[in-house]
């Protein structure tokens, strides 16, 4: 008799965004004439930068003749892209990351979900609350928790992010080994200062812990004081893995390209107490289970770093940032406490009532889709997240409808 992984039944019935999609489609079936405005899932809506499109076309043409055709590429990514990443995303900001420490992949969701499998079953995992659900679910699937009680999994150390701490969690009071951090944050849109990240790096160094730093929204940072990478913090190379993505940076959600940085100094310990380089472990895992991102897509990602690409990507993100500021101002004017919406594409709104009830109200009365905060954790029970990933026109219409619905 074939048996299932006994940890899967511990998961919530479905993934948050699948759950929302089901509710929205049920509503749409009942109200086929209602035009919905989607400010829920953080999926980009604006087209790819022209520099990326040109690179895609050119690479596709190269694949059309035998002289230039490429089959399997290096699993970790082509040198042209890894070198561009190391130069522009890190060395240009004073962070010492080399091209061979970069692993190109199909998405930060896959990487942040897969990374946990190189660590021991009994590592103590610190999970911020609210949090991107992938970090939670993948550790549950791996068997690092018991079944959830009141929406929380025994086995995790939860790090509350609330208005009281400015949505940047305090260091844990009990020892932890693996720490997930995401800044600019999904879902709250909060950012972490250099001093705040330095405290986490120091904690990890003191406790032989490892930080998994999700910087998927880094490109939204406009404040010159804020760090873009954890490697801008001295000492981070030994205690942090960083995840980046072109999804939100350059509109690649439908194209798929991201990367993970594993510095060579990053260590974990084997059963006999010997340090093992995580770079070698991740290389082994990545080359075994992944065959690389397609050549045209890597050329498109490389084009992000060209002079035109940089200009186009900045304009793209400026548009979403304008939306984010507009959303935050509108909700504040309606009397809601908000965070995010600056240096981030998400606005986290204290709805002052049950998150799903507010979600339903916006859906039914305004025809606007948001994300109920409770889907990101217990601290989001009374919050919703509004995403800025839409056109300025749709955002203006959505806010107009919400104002009317809440009158
Ligand atoms: C979100 O809405 O939180 C994001 O779209 C999730 C993701 O990037 O996978």
Domain boundaries, the chain: 8-47+308-406, 53-306
pLDDT interval class at 388 (50, 70, 90)? very high
Q: What is the pLDDT of residue 66?
A: 96
What is 8-47+308-406's CATH number, 3.90.1150.10, 3.30.930.10, 2.130.10.30, 3.40.50.200?
A: 3.90.1150.10
Nearest Cα residue to atom 1 of ligand 1: 42
Chain position carrying tokens 């018991």? 146
| Dist CA 268 CA 53 (whole Å) | 41
Q: What is the pLDDT of residue 145?
A: 97
Nearest Cα residue to atom 4 of ligand 1: 42
Q: What is the pLDDT of residue 361?
A: 96
Nearest Cα residue to atom 8 of ligand 1: 42
44 C-alpha vs ligand 1 centroid, how far in Å? 10
Closest atom of ligand 1 to 17 CA is 2
- pLDDT surpassing 80 at residue 62: yes
Mutate which of 20, 43, 386 for ligand 1? The one with the most ligand atoms within 8 Å of its CB, which is: 43
What is the mean pLDDT of the segment spanning 287-314?
98
| Dist CA 353 CA 93 (whole Å) | 42
Which residues have C-beta atoms less than 6 Å from ligand 1? 41-43, 109, 132, 186
* CB contact at 8 A, 349 and 331: yes
65 C-alpha vs ligand 1 centroid, how far in Å? 37
Q: What is the pLDDT of residue 333?
A: 98
Closest atom of ligand 1 to 245 CA is 8
Q: What is the pLDDT of residue 357?
A: 96
* CB contact at 8 A, 386 and 331: yes
For 166-215, the pLDDT digits (tens) are 999 999 999 999 999 999 999 999 999 999 999 999 999 999 999 999 99
For 338-387, the pLDDT digits (tens) are 999 999 999 999 999 999 999 999 999 999 999 999 999 999 999 999 99
CATH topology of domain 53-306: 3.40.640
Instruction: Indicate if 53-306 has the same CATH topology as 8-47+308-406.
Output: no
Q: What is the pLDDT of residue 19?
A: 85
Closest atom of ligand 1 to 253 CA is 8
What is the mean pLDDT of the segment spanning 65-87?
97
Mutate which of 20, 41, 257 for ligand 1? The one with the most ligand atoms within 8 Å of its CB, which is: 41
Backbone φ and ψ for 134, nearest 5 degrees, come out as -60, -40
387 C-alpha vs ligand 1 centroid, how far in Å? 10
| 384 strand-pairing partners | 349, 372
* CB contact at 8 A, 343 and 184: yes
Q: What is the pLDDT of residue 15?
A: 78
pLDDT interval class at 17 (50, 70, 90)? confident
What is the mean pLDDT of the segment spanning 305-332?
98
What is the mean pLDDT of the segment spanning 97-119?
98
* CB contact at 8 A, 97 and 259: no
Nearest Cα residue to atom 9 of ligand 1: 109
Backbone φ and ψ for 241, nearest 5 degrees, come out as -110, 135
What is the mean pLDDT of the segment spanning 237-257?
98
Percentage of residues in the chain having pLDDT higher than 70: 100
370 C-alpha vs ligand 1 centroid, how far in Å? 12
133 C-alpha vs ligand 1 centroid, how far in Å? 9
191 C-alpha vs ligand 1 centroid, how far in Å? 17
What is the mean pLDDT of the segment spanning 30-38?
94
Q: Assign residue 254 a region: left if phi > 0, alpha if psi is -120 to 50, beta otherwise?
A: alpha
Helix (H) or strand (E) holding 102: strand 102-105
Helix (H) or strand (E) holding 112: helix 108-114
Q: What is the pLDDT of residue 221?
A: 98
Which three-class secondary structure state does DSSP give residue 134?
helix
42 C-alpha vs ligand 1 centroid, how far in Å? 5
| 103 strand-pairing partners | 260
Q: What are 346's two structure tokens?
A: 């998400």
Nearest Cα residue to atom 3 of ligand 1: 42
* CB contact at 8 A, 221 and 192: no
Nearest to 108 by CA among 130, 152, 138: 138
- pLDDT surpassing 90 at residue 16: no
16 C-alpha vs ligand 1 centroid, how far in Å? 10
| Dist CA 249 CA 318 (whole Å) | 11
Contact residues for 144 (Cβ-Cβ < 8 A; gap 6+) = 116, 121, 122, 123, 125, 155, 156
What is the mean pLDDT of the segment spanning 242-257?
98
Q: Is the pTM of this model over 0.90?
A: yes
pLDDT averaged over every residue in the chain: 97
Specify burial of residue 239 (Cβ count, 10 A radius: 0-12, 13-18, 19+): buried
A 10 A CB-CB count for 300 gives: 29
What is the mean pLDDT of the segment spanning 295-316?
98
State how far Cα 169 lies from the chain centre. Answer: 17
A 10 A CB-CB count for 45 gives: 15
Closest atom of ligand 1 to 248 CA is 8
Contact residues for 259 (Cβ-Cβ < 8 A; gap 6+) = 77, 82, 85, 102, 103, 104, 105, 111, 243, 244, 245
- pLDDT surpassing 80 at residue 265: yes
Closest atom of ligand 1 to 187 CA is 3
What is the mean pLDDT of the segment spanning 139-147?
97
* CB contact at 8 A, 145 and 153: yes
Q: What is the pLDDT of residue 79?
A: 98
Which pairing describes strands 258-261 and 102-105: parallel, antiparallel, or unpaired? antiparallel
- pLDDT surpassing 80 at residue 13: no
pLDDT interval class at 18 (50, 70, 90)? confident
61 C-alpha vs ligand 1 centroid, how far in Å? 32
- pLDDT surpassing 90 at residue 255: yes
Contact residues for 366 (Cβ-Cβ < 8 A; gap 6+) = 398, 401, 402, 404, 405
On whether ipTM exceeds 0.90, the answer is yes
CA angle 372, 375, 38 (to 5 degrees): 40
User: DSSP per residue over 256-274, as a string?
Assistant: --EEEE--TT-EEE-TTS-
43 C-alpha vs ligand 1 centroid, how far in Å? 7
| Dist CA 381 CA 60 (whole Å) | 47
- pLDDT surpassing 90 at residue 297: yes
* CB contact at 8 A, 97 and 231: yes
| Dist CA 149 CA 93 (whole Å) | 44
What is the mean pLDDT of the segment spanning 312-326?
98
208 C-alpha vs ligand 1 centroid, how far in Å? 30
Closest atom of ligand 1 to 216 CA is 8
* CB contact at 8 A, 231 and 95: yes
What is the mean pLDDT of the segment spanning 119-146?
97
- pLDDT surpassing 80 at residue 14: no
């Amino acid at each position: 008799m074939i048996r299932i992984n006994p940890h899967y039944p511990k998961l919530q019935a479905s993934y948050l965004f699948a759950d929302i999609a089901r509710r929205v489609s049920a509503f749409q079936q009942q109200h086929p004439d209602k035009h919905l405005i989607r400010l829920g899932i953080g999926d980009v809506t604006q087209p790819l930068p022209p520099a990326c499109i040109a690179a895609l076309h050119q690479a596709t043409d190269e694949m059309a003749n035998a002289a230039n055709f490429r089959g399997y590429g290096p699993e970790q990514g082509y040198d042209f892209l890894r070198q561009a990443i190391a130069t522009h995303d890190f060395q240009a900001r004073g962070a010492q990351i080399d091209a061979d420490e970069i692993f190109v992949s199909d998405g930060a969701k896959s990487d942040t979900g897969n990374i946990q499998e190189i660590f021991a079953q009994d590592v103590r995992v610190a999970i911020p609350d609210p949090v991107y659900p992938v970090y939670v679910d993948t550790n549950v699937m791996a068997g690092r928790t018991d079944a959830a009680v009141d929406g929380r999994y025994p086995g995790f150390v939860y790090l509350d992010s609330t208005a009281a701490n400015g949505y940047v969690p305090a260091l844990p009071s009990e020892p932890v080994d693996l720490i997930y951090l995401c800044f600019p944050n999904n879902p709250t849109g909060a950012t972490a200062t250099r001093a705040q990240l330095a405290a986490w790096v120091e904690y990890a160094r003191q406790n032989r812990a490892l930080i998994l730093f999700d910087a998927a929204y880094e490109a939204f940072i406009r404040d010159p004081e804020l760090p873009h990478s954890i490697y801008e913090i001295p000492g981070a190379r030994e205690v942090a893995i960083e995840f980046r993505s072109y999804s939100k940076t350059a509109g690649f959600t439908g194209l798929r390209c991201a990367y993970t940085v594993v510095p060579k100094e990053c260590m974990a310990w084997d059963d006999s107490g010997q340090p093992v380089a995580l770079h070698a472990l991740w290389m082994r895992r990545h080359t075994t289970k992944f065959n690389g991102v397609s050549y045209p897509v890597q050329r498109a990602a490389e084009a992000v770093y060209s002079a035109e690409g940089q200009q186009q990507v900045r304009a793209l993100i400026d548009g979403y940032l304008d939306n984010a500021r507009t959303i935050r101002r509108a909700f504040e004017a309606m009397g809601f406490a908000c965070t995010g919406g600056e240096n981030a594409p998400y606005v986290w709104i204290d709805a002052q009532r049950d998150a799903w009830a507010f979600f339903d109200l916006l859906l039914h009365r305004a025809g606007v889709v948001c994300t109920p905060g409770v889907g990101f954790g217990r601290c989001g029970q009374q919050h919703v997240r509004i995403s800025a990933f839409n056109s300025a026109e749709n955002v203006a219409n959505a806010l107009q409808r919400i104002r009317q619905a809440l009158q």
